Amino acid sequence: MVALWKRALSRTITAVIHAAESPKQHRRPDVPLPTDDPWYKSHEALDTIQPGTLLDHRPVEFRAGSHWVSHARAWQLRYRSTDTVGRPISAVATLMVPERAWTGVGPRPLVSYQGAIDSLGPRADPSYTFRKGSQKEFLLMTLALRHGWAVVTADFTGPRHAFGAGLIAARITLDGIRAAFQLDAAGLSAGAPVAMWGYSGGGQATVWAAEQHPLYAPEIRLTAVAAGGVPTDNRTLYRIDGGLLSGFALGAWLGISREYPQTNLLAHANDQGHRVVEEISDMTVEELIAYFPCRRIGELTTVADPFATAGAVLVNEQLALGRRLPSAPIYLYHAIYDQLVPIVEADDLAATYRRGGVDVTLKRSHLGEHLLFHRLGAKGVLRYLTSRLETAPEQTVAEAGPGQAGASSA
């Protein structure tokens, strides 16, 4: 039985979220969900097609709030990618290219931006939120577009909406970059420098893609990576389970189980657990937080600690970052007072990479906490990306070698 105060808290959070979200529901109500849009359906024999191959595309109009974005052209790309166990899947990304001509040194750079999707259904996928006018991180992508860079952002949780599953996120992200270069109308040069950027859940996907890049897509000229507030393993889920954000932990654990069934989450679920899994199956992160505050996942299972089963421990090890090394320079930025992901996780990841010879810049800041530093840290990211993307090609390659490291704090 759920305590009355927890039910009251859930209703309060839900009411607040509905009040905040209600204006968004009137933005482009005519945009169909991806599940109702035939364009998303794949009819190709994907097992005969190489990963990253562009399968289809269409121009789209996209909105920032209630306003059309007119300073950039945009397309949706559908392409072949790969899931966690190596099966071919169809994936979707949105590509934006500034209208103004590129006048910088070398070809126009491409930035792959990974937003924090953090949801179990399609309503938070960038390809949908851009057309709907409810994309929460478009302001940061706009900063990249204003530099004249092209931006691609993928629906990286994949067809099963595997919130928190790092490997599929990495592969869909890298294949989205590959597909962007194949769209002739975008005018991108094959040898253009590429950067990746993301924060929190998007930062996790970004670092996963950086670690997989040398193995999965080494032909991409990855020049720089920027990732902030990155949860490096499932310790974040343990910490917030039972707290105000316990719905976030529940959603991530269900999302992970969709790509890693060896967690045995559903096998360990009790009757209440099966009902809850059904009810949350397509919730956004805001809905998850409102639905399940101050409760523990263990309430929904037949085992005392669902994170400690043999299958869960194995998956936890597989989801830990730092098991592979990026080949590109990386900028990690993290608030010292981050209440969700302690600064020690950024410190440890930076130390691991440096021991492997990776060029790491770690920005530790006293400003803000997890949510605020998302915006506050963007200025430093743009300086870093500019220094890497807008230098002469031969200079950029020289700078990207291993063995250089930097650290700063503010």
The residues pairing with 394 across neighbouring beta strands, listed in sequence order, are: none
Phi and psi at residue 31, to the nearest 5°: -75, 120
| pLDDT confidence of residue 403 | 35
Q: Does domain 4-22+234-317 have CATH number 3.40.50.970?
A: no
Both tokens assigned to 196: 């990746």
From-to residues of CATH 1.10.260.130 in the chain:
4-22+234-317
Cα–Cα dist 310/293, whole Å: 27
- With both helix axes pointing from N to C terminus, report the angle between 138-146 and 378-389 in degrees, rounded to the nearest 10: 30
Residue 196 · residue 180 · CB < 8 Å? no
> Which residues are CB-contacts of 37 (< 8 A; sequence separation ≥ 6)?
none
Task: State the Cα–Cα distance between residues 250 and 271, nearest whole angstrom.
Answer: 16
How far out from the chain centre does Cα 240 lie? 19
- Cα–Cα dist 129/133, whole Å: 6
- Which helix or strand (DSSP H or E) is residue 94 part of? strand 88-98
- What are the tokens at 127? 């390809």
C-alpha radius of gyration, the chain, whole number: 21
Pairing of strands 222-228, 150-154: unpaired
Contact, 246 vs 240, CB < 8 A?
A: yes
Instruction: Dig out the tokens for 25 from the structure.
Output: 């529901």
Residue with tokens 């020049």: 223
Per-residue pLDDT of the chain (410 residues; tens, 9 = 90+): 556 655 565 556 555 555 545 445 445 568 999 999 999 999 999 999 999 999 999 999 887 665 666 688 999 999 999 999 999 999 999 999 999 999 998 999 999 999 999 999 999 999 999 999 989 999 999 999 999 999 999 999 999 999 999 999 999 999 999 999 999 999 999 989 999 999 999 999 999 999 999 999 999 999 999 999 999 998 888 899 999 999 999 999 999 999 999 999 889 999 999 999 999 999 999 999 999 999 999 999 999 899 899 999 999 999 999 999 999 999 999 999 999 999 999 999 999 999 999 999 999 999 999 999 999 999 999 999 999 998 745 444 334 333 334 444 44
Both structure tokens of 380: 């430093």
Instruction: Write the DSSP assignment of 118-168 as a string of letters.
Output: --SSGGG-HHHHHHHT--TTHHHHHHHHHTT-EEEEE-TTTTTT-TT-HHH
Q: How far is CA 182 from the centre of its chain?
A: 22
Rounded distance between C-alpha atoms, residue 318 and residue 77, angstroms: 30
> What is the full DSSP assignment across 356-388?
TT--EEEEEESS--TTHHHHHTHHHHHHHHHHH
pLDDT at residue 12, as a whole number: 60
- Rounded Cα gap, residues 222 and 329, in angstroms: 9
- Fold of domain 31-232+321-409: Rossmann fold (3.40.50)
For residues 385 and 226, the answer to whether their CB atoms sit within 8 Å is: yes
Amino acid at 275: R
Q: Which residue ranges does the chain devote to CATH 3.40.50.1820? A: 31-232+321-409
Structure confidence at residue 74 (pLDDT): 95
How far, in Å, CA of 202 to CA of 114, rounded?
A: 5
